[in-house]
Each structure stands twice: as C-alpha cells, then as structure tokens.
Amino acid sequence: MAQHITSDNFEALCNTGKPLVLDFWATWCGPCRRMAPVIEELAEEYDGRAIIGKCDIEEDEKLPMRYSVRNIPTILFIKDGAVVDKQIGACPKATLQQKLDALL
C-alpha cells in the first residue's frame, strides 16, 4: 500500500536510503483517480526496494508548494533527497516503472 506522505514525515522518508516516488493528487482530480491503482501496484511491486507514497494537495499545502506543483497528478522521483525525475499528468504504468528502475 502506498504511504501517506506529508510535510511532517517527508524528510524521514527521504533519509531511508531508498528511492522515493511521490504522487501529488486530489480526490476531485479525474486523472489522479485513474493513476491511483497504478501507484498502489507499484507500492506492492517495489515494496522493500523503494518508497511509494501519495500526498493529497488538499491536506498538505507545504509539500506541493516546496516543489512548485501546479498540475496534478505530478509524480516526483526522489533519490538522496533530490528530485531526479518527474512525470506530470497520467501515464502508463510502464513509464513509471522505467523511471523508478533507473533509480534502483
């Protein structure tokens, strides 16, 4: 299951040494809802190798502001605390897998 990520737990998750995939989303966003099952599948498939999480932009405004998220879904790929790749908008699962595999 994808982790619930907020500005409160973000730094600790970045310091685990594992790549972090962070999906910025909202309940009212159609493309976000289409991506939700894909994010959950990635969380199961990469369990133990990467951290896959979601940040609801309605619940936490600080984290989206920190990364200048203006469109959702926005999916950030973070390694060692730095954004190394991102995906804006809905996409196929294979696209996210390719980006995540490059971090492992």
- For the CA atoms of the chain, what is the radius of gyration? 12
Instruction: Look at the block and give the residue holding tokens 């951290």.
Output: 51
Active-site pick, 14, 29, 55, 91: 29
Do the Cβ atoms of 53 and 76 come closer than 8 Å?
A: no
Whether 29 sits among the annotated catalytic residues: the reply is yes
3-state secondary structure of 6: coil
Pull the structure tokens for residue 15.
Answer: 């310091």
CB contact at 8 A, 42 and 100: yes
User: Tokens 């994808």 belong to which residue?
Assistant: 2
Catalytic residue annotation: 29, 32
